[in-house]
Structure 1
Amino acid sequence: MCTSLTLQTLNDHVLLARTMDFPVKAAWKPVLINQPRYETALSGFRPIRYPYIGGGRIEGDHQILVADGVNTQGLSCAELMFPLKAHYQDEPTTDKLNLTPQDFLPWVLAEHASISAVKADLANIALIGKYWLAGDEVFAFHWILTDKTGRTLIVEPTKNGLEVIADSIGVLTNSPTYPEHMARLAKSFHTSEKPAALIQRATQIVMGQQFPAATNTPTTRFQVTAINKLGAQPSPNQFEARNRLFSDLDTVAIPFKPSMNDHPNFNYTHYIAILDVTDQSYYFRYHDSTQVLSFSLADELSRHAGKNLFLA
């Protein structure tokens, strides 16, 4: 379970924000990916043209699984769970680059400079439902991307293939599909799905403080986040936007409870992250802390040449 959204400020900073909701066994940390190449499960090693910073954890003995990141070109990507809806090919194909679901985000960030480049390259890959380099699970993912242009891209692997949504409102949670979320949002608003109608209704809700309760379901988290994004005034700068994004995501975060230790499959919000694609900076806050850790990708690259390492 996760929630994410994109935001553009009046001073032209573009941000991607997300909650990382995962079972208690996971230990997520800020991570720098700056080695010359990365390993895929089915297609060997690939070059890292654009190092990146994000949130990750160790899978198995030493493999780093990254869930979100921003690269040196200002392209960002976050993966979110997509249960029951994700559909992958059963076997590798001979005429495309074969990737497991966990390989998709490294492929995006390490090898592409923009959303346009990713879109142009999607036809050359096949997502295969096989195990990654570590672990024994085929994760059901979909992805949200943004870059310096402020455009948002959503990629969903369905029975129809890789579906690309280029005209989204910049909000994503978990299943169902993005089009199904939008249909439910418009129904709850009693409007069409046209942006002007959604913004008008969201603004009315914000002004009247008529927010729906943010229960732990993807549908309500999508609706609450959409209202907060569409119904508020534009943020003047990146500083106000970061405060706003942390506040908005706090409303849909899943708090940790000690009793969850007895239920290893229960999800809670491990961290909230904000990725500023304009200046390639990363802001990370653990679930049990009010301290925001901040990292400049350029600074970390200068300190840690040719290395992958956790930063906290």
Structure 2
Amino acid sequence: MCTSLTYKNANDDWFLARTMDFGFELGGRPVAIPRRHHFTSDASAEGFTTNYGFVGAGRNLNGYILVDGVNEKGVGAAALYFNESVYADQPQNGATNLASHEVLNWILGNVASIPDLKKKFEKVNIMAVPNSLLKIVVPLHWIVADNTGASVVIEQQADGVKIIDNPVGVMANSPEFDWHLKNLNNYVQLNPALHSAKSYGTLVANGFGAGTGALGLPGDYTSVSRFIRTAFTRQHTEVAKDTDAAINTLTHILNNVEIPKGLKIQADGDFDYTQYRGYMNLATPTFYMQPYADQTITKVKLTEELLNSKAPVEFKLQTHQQFNEVN
């Protein structure tokens, strides 16, 4: 399970960030995909060729599969688990036929803006094809944002594909995105200030201090609660002044929904945890990856050298220095 959000700093630069919460060890690392790269496909014999280069978190499984990233046009995207997904059983003539785990590669490689996405996605057919690593059809939905701040959520269910404008800049997992938006109506009382005093008969009850305005903010790890918590913190967190401050702010926002190991146990005894957090600067564009085992952030900026490389370039994750001992 995962949480994602968009964010704007004081320079009007937009960012997309996400937690990658999963039980199966994905083993991803930063990968830069060059322009005009050809991807093979599990859904079609011809595969597809991209126009734009991009960088994100991925893994080479007889070809790179990425789960988030940002492209040279400033379009960022992230794939999140979505159990309600329903995909096509058959390919469509004249369409780009993709497995669900290939959609993000196609978006980052071919989309220049949110309006461009809405137009081009009309010719995409998402098929029920298993992923070679997980051996299942991966149920996904996607958040996509561009460097103007426009953001949408893509979901495919039995009634077809929906591209939904995202007015709150937040996304989590099930249920469907429209449900999460309606559920915000249950939390209009939340605010970052103190609650005013209330009278009960002749008694005047005062709050216990700062933070009382957020009483009722859900603190569990369900997608429903993570959505509300992220929407609240995104709305009220102080605006960062520049890029470095924005990445720092995003780490603190996502700290609110990060899942430590052992706190979210599944029916089979396995557990989800936040394997990494990804941050995408849509203005530069640049990708940042912060793994669970080591909070050091690895930064990869798209350069002309990477964009024109003959093959994808994979980067090792940075590690922290030794802690300084203070006597």
**TM-score over 0.5 for the pair:** yes
Alpha carbons of structure 1 residues 31 and 107: separation in structure 2 relative to 1, 3 Å = same
Gaps of 5+ in 1: 191-200
State the Cα deviation string for residues 90-114 of structure 1 (Å, max 9, x = none). 2112232211101111110111211
**Identity, % of aligned positions:** 27
Which has the larger helix fraction?
A: 1
Contact 1:25 1:264 in 2 (8 A): no
Between 1:110-119 and 1:130-139, the stretch displaced more is: 130-139
Contact 2:70 2:280 in 1 (8 A): yes
Report the counterpart of residue 119 of structure 2 in structure 1.
Answer: 120
Contact 2:10 2:240 in 1 (8 A): yes
Alpha carbons of structure 1 residues 207 and 103: separation in structure 2 relative to 1, 3 Å = same
Report the counterpart of residue 184 of structure 2 in structure 1.
Answer: 185
Between 1:85-94 and 1:208-217, the stretch displaced more is: 208-217
Question: Post-superposition shift, 1:165?
Answer: 1.2
Alpha carbons of structure 1 residues 219 and 120: separation in structure 2 relative to 1, 3 Å = same
Distance in 2, matches of 1:186 and 1:204, equals: 19
Alpha carbons of structure 1 residues 3 and 300: separation in structure 2 relative to 1, 3 Å = farther
Contact 2:191 2:214 in 1 (8 A): no
Question: Post-superposition shift, 1:132?
Answer: 4.2
Gaps of 5+ in 2: 195-209, 317-327
Distance in 2, matches of 1:259 and 1:275, equals: 26
Report the counterpart of residue 214 of structure 2 in structure 1.
Answer: 210
Contact 2:39 2:63 in 1 (8 A): no
Question: Post-superposition shift, 1:10?
Answer: 2.0
Alpha carbons of structure 1 residues 23 and 245: separation in structure 2 relative to 1, 3 Å = same
Contact 1:24 1:264 in 2 (8 A): no
The 5 A counterparts of 1:276-287 are 276-287=281-292
State the Cα deviation string for residues 22-65 of structure 1 (Å, max 9, x = none). 11432121112126311222232322211111011244xx3322
Report the counterpart of residue 243 of structure 2 in structure 1.
Answer: 238
Contact 1:99 1:128 in 2 (8 A): yes
Q: 2:311 aligns with which of 287, 307, 310?
A: 307
Report the counterpart of residue 295 of structure 1 in structure 2.
Answer: 300
Question: Post-superposition shift, 1:257?
Answer: 4.5
Distance in 1, matches of 2:231 and 2:86, equals: 26
Distance in 1, matches of 2:2 and 2:134, equals: 21
Question: Post-superposition shift, 1:267?
Answer: 1.1
Distance in 2, matches of 1:272 and 1:218, equals: 16
State the Cα deviation string for residues 162-209 of structure 1 (Å, max 9, x = none). 11111421100100011111111211336xxxxxxxxxx444489646
Contact 1:89 1:128 in 2 (8 A): yes
User: What's the TM-score, normalizing by structure 2?
Assistant: 0.83
RMSD: 2.4
State the Cα deviation string for residues 207-262 of structure 1 (Å, max 9, x = none). 646262431100110010000011233333222221111011111111124998xx
Report the counterpart of residue 72 of structure 1 in structure 2.
Answer: 72
Code of the aligned partner of 1:40: S
The 5 A counterparts of 1:33-182 are 33-34=33-34, 36-43=37-44, 44-59=46-61, 62-83=62-83, 85-132=84-131, 135-182=134-181
2:312 is the counterpart of 1:275: no
Alpha carbons of structure 1 residues 175 and 204: separation in structure 2 relative to 1, 3 Å = farther
Distance in 1, matches of 2:278 and 2:134, equals: 24
Alpha carbons of structure 1 residues 165 and 204: separation in structure 2 relative to 1, 3 Å = farther
* Residues paired across the two proteins, number: 296
Distance in 2, matches of 1:46 and 1:91, equals: 18
Report the counterpart of residue 22 of structure 1 in structure 2.
Answer: 22
Greater than 3 Å deviation, 4+ residue runs: 132-135, 201-209, 257-260
Contact 2:264 2:272 in 1 (8 A): no
Contact 1:185 1:223 in 2 (8 A): yes
Contact 1:51 1:71 in 2 (8 A): yes
Question: Post-superposition shift, 1:278?
Answer: 0.1
Distance in 2, matches of 1:16 and 1:207, equals: 27
Contact 1:256 1:287 in 2 (8 A): no
Alpha carbons of structure 1 residues 138 and 286: separation in structure 2 relative to 1, 3 Å = same
Q: 1:223 aligns with which of 201, 220, 228?
A: 228
